[in-house]
A and B are shown apart, each in its own frame.
Chain A
């Protein structure tokens, strides 16, 4: 039995909306932990004085930094919406194929809209 090959799996299997949202939920979860740690790190830098605070401030104001912030806002938006979807699932609703597809699309579109709204309101929020 050890010589028998393993049939191909992820290489050949089609992606569905539900599987795509599911893996994105996991990935954004990991990203959120890392970026939250970074924000905590930044706050700690405040204690070390102006200069060390400014180095991260400058990084976040660079093009790469802005991309990072937008990515972070999207990642959080996605996680929040996806978790709301999971709450409904935990209550036993939304398992029909059509419903799960629609809610999956809503999570994807919603996360993009939420990112745009939060990012364009950033001046007011801070």
Chain B
């Protein structure tokens, strides 16, 4: 269902203002979405004044600085800090991305940071991705083969291998799926760009023997065809992949097979 407004409990209130205490002249304001499950209050936007002279280049560095030096209660996910694990996916300056690869110098004006859009918030910048993981499981993202050849590799020509380029790099950070309006309104049923790109990754794998079944499973009005080529997914992908094209490839395979 298309729901433009946020539910009452999710409406965002004005929060605390943390004034700079370092006396720095190079200050930027950072607005961060906060919600604490312990208080039961509505979410709020806290504003932090950050000394940019002593802050490394990425948005994740900025968050670390705030957590270490200003407000230790701030909660967010992060792990590798090199754009490989996908933990620090969030909405920065109105666009999804990885905090560890997004330079804050690319953002003009105040820096606005929100959790990934249209998710149940667990705390502050942490959204609940369990629906997405369940959908990921449903496409059975593993190699299926009946011809079991012990002790030997599954051979694949260079050409067949190259079909996986632009697909295998996906780190499942959910930036694409949570940027998609179709996924916002139909997230329970529509698989979303991330999961469909993964589905295509196994459909197109020359070693997999389950292509027909996989295609049949995904060929559904809601699971697949809720993609209306809005292209927010491709715009958001921090790895430069193209989920919209992968989804179109599945549609094309279904139309021509």
B179 interface residue (CB < 8 Å to A):
yes
Q: Which residues of A contact B128 (CB under 8 A)?
A: 1, 4
Instruction: Return chain A residues, CB-CB under 8 Å to B231.
Output: 16, 18-19, 22, 97, 100
B229: nearest chain-A partner, CB-CB: A89
Interface string of B1-21 (1 = CB under 8 A from A): 000101101101000000000
Q: Does A8 contact B (CB under 8 A)?
A: yes
Residues of chain B within 8 A of A10, CB atoms compared: 4, 117, 181, 184
Given A13-B179, A92-B249, does the pair A7, B119 have CB atoms closer than 8 Å?
yes
B252 within 8 A of A: yes
With a cutoff of 8 Å between Cβ atoms, the chain B residues found around residue A11 in the complex are 6
Q: Are B184 and A19 in contact (CB under 8 A)?
A: no
Whether B245 pairs with A95 at a CB distance below 8 angstroms is yes
B235, A16: Cβ atoms closer than 8 Å: yes
Residues 6-40 of A, flagged 1 when their CB comes within 8 A of B and 0 if not, give 11111111101011001100100000000000000
Task: Tell whether A4 pairs with B235 under 8 Å between CB atoms, given A9-B184, A10-B184, A13-B94.
Answer: no
Considering the complex, give the chain B residue whose CB is closest to the CB of A16: B235
Q: B37 → chain A, closest Cβ, in Å?
A: 7
Are A95 and B95 CB-contacts (below 8 A) given A1-B120, A4-B37, A6-B121?
A: no
Contact between B117 and A7, CB atoms less than 8 A apart = yes
Asked if A123 is an interface residue, CB under 8 A from chain B, the answer is: no
> Which of the residues B116, B122, B228, B242 comes within 8 Å of A4, measured between beta carbons?
B122
Contact (Cβ within 8 A) A86 B229? yes
- Indicate the size class of the contact surface on chain B: 35 or more
Give the residues from 70 to 97 in chain A that come closer than 8 angstroms, CB to CB, to chain B.
86, 89-92, 95-97
> When A4-B122, A10-B4, A95-B242 are in contact, do A90 and B251 touch as well, CB less than 8 Å?
yes
**Chain A residue contacts of B116, Cβ below 8 A:** 7
With contacts A18-B230, A18-B232, A100-B231 taken as known, whether A9 is within 8 angstroms of B117 at the C-beta atoms is yes
Measured CB to CB, the residues of B under 8 A from A are: 4, 6-7, 9-10, 12, 33, 35, 37, 40, 42-43, 91, 93-95, 112, 114-122, 127-128, 179, 181, 184, 228-232, 234-235, 242, 244-245, 248-249, 251-252, 255
A sample of 20 cross-chain residue pairs with beta-carbon separation below 8 angstroms, ordered by A number, consists of: A1-B120, A3-B9, A4-B37, A5-B6, A5-B35, A6-B7, A6-B120, A7-B118, A8-B10, A8-B12, A8-B33, A12-B94, A16-B235, A18-B231, A19-B231, A22-B229, A90-B248, A92-B245, A95-B244, A97-B235
